[in-house]
Chain A
């Protein structure tokens, strides 16, 4: 069963606009972490933001914020004021707790194109 779903294979956004990248997940483990990574064309994987299942507030890191809706099992990434350098592949990932063996599962990714 697919545990991490990113339904948008590709997204376009105008420079300086905000964009939301969708991510839904499935787990029965009460303890889990949600992560977003950026993979530019150069290939490296860059950690962006983390949200814990018990966190009461949505995580924020600079221009990145995570819209965490636990009941819906969604963890969408919001990038504000898009920049040309934000063009990349974005992966949502989930690591389950003890019950899940601490495995990390990645979604298929969303390719973001920022237009000038």
Chain B
């Protein structure tokens, strides 16, 4: 079975540019999560979806960040405009259900560098 797929794996962009990160969850999983990992702040939950509906976006740092899940097999995280402090590894994860019993499976991550 294919795991969680993320693209691109690496992204280098200049400050002010729009960045779009993509994620394909594991087939049959109903919940999708976006995380950001930095040395300073560790692993932070940005937003999660259940059945394509955003449930909690309280971790989204500011209005420059937006996430969508148009269907069960695809999600995007967009940063517009990007800033150097957005440089991080962004992980997408999915789980069967958004409950406390199901583990999350992580994608390989997208390493974003904003110059």
Interface residues, chain A, with chain B CB atoms under 8 Å away:
31-33, 35, 37, 43-47, 50, 52-53, 91, 95-97, 101-109
Contacts and interface: CB of A to CB of B under 8 A. Distances in A.
Contacts of A46: 106
B99 interface: yes
A48 to B, nearest CB: 9
21 contacts: A33-B103, A35-B103, A37-B106, A43-B111, A44-B106, A45-B91, A45-B93, A46-B106, A47-B106, A50-B101, A53-B100, A91-B43, A95-B100, A96-B100, A97-B99, A101-B55, A101-B56, A102-B48, A102-B98, A104-B33, A105-B45
Interface of B is mostly: strand
B25 interface: no
Given A50-B103, A96-B100, A44 B109 contact: yes
B109 A43 contact: yes
B55 A102 contact: yes
A5 to B, nearest CB: 12
* Shortest 10 CB-CB contacts between residues of A and residues of B: A45-B106, A33-B100, A106-B43, A97-B100, A95-B100, A102-B98, A47-B103, A32-B100, A108-B42, A50-B103
B42 A102 contact: no
Tier of interface size on chain B:
20 to 34
A109 B42 contact: yes
B108 interface: yes
Contacts of A108: 42
Contacts of A109: 42
Contacts of A32: 100
Contact of B56 (A43, A44, A45, A103): A103
A102 B100 contact: yes
